[in-house]
């Protein structure tokens, strides 16, 4: 099962790197998420390396029966999807990505992401709680970060 998840993640990363930048909006939540972004759990920040510590994650909607079946969640889906989606975290699949001064950042303010600074992202990453964020990464550098609403 672990190898299947790694394989699926690698296929997703390869396909995401070949996409054009087009923004899609989840109008029910007001979140603007770049199409070629990938969801990660932010685990921390390294001052030494100037990198975010990230762990791979996936947003799965309850109507995506094919993906639910692939992840072997079909037996528990009513409990696993209380808000219509589930966040699947891939423990151990960790990445370190650099930030630079041109990284675009949008962090949540109540329920809407709003333009934020790199310093605000770093401060939040250094905080006690992990959080989800969509990232667009090019050549190991984060070019965009958008924190989704997850009620």
Q: What is the pLDDT of residues 44-68, one digit of tens each?
A: 999 999 999 999 998 888 888 898 8
For residue 7, the model assigns a pLDDT of 35
- For 37-51, b/e burial (b = at least 16 CB within 10 A) is bbbbbbeebeeeeeb
Paired with 112 in beta bridges are 109
Q: Where are the domains positioned within the chain? A: 2-146
Q: What is the pLDDT of residues 31-47, one digit of tens each?
A: 467 777 899 999 999 99
């Amino acid at each position: 099962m672990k190898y299947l998840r790694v394989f699926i993640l690698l296929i997703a990363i390869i396909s995401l790197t070949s996409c054009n930048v087009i923004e899609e909006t989840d109008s029910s939540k007001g979140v603007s998420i770049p199409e070629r972004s990938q969801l990660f759990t932010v685990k921390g920040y390294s001052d030494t390396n100037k990198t975010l510590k990230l762990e791979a994650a996936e947003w799965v909607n309850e109507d995506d029966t094919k993906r639910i079946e692939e992840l072997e969640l079909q037996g528990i889906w009513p409990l696993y999807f209380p808000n219509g989606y589930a966040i699947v975290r891939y423990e151990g699949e960790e990445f370190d990505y650099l930030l630079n001064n041109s990284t675009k950042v949008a962090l949540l303010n109540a329920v809407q992401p709003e333009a934020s600074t790199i310093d605000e992202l770093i401060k939040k990453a250094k905080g006690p709680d992990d959080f989800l964020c969509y990232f667009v990464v090019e050549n190991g550098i984060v070019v965009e970060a958008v924190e989704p609403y997850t009620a």
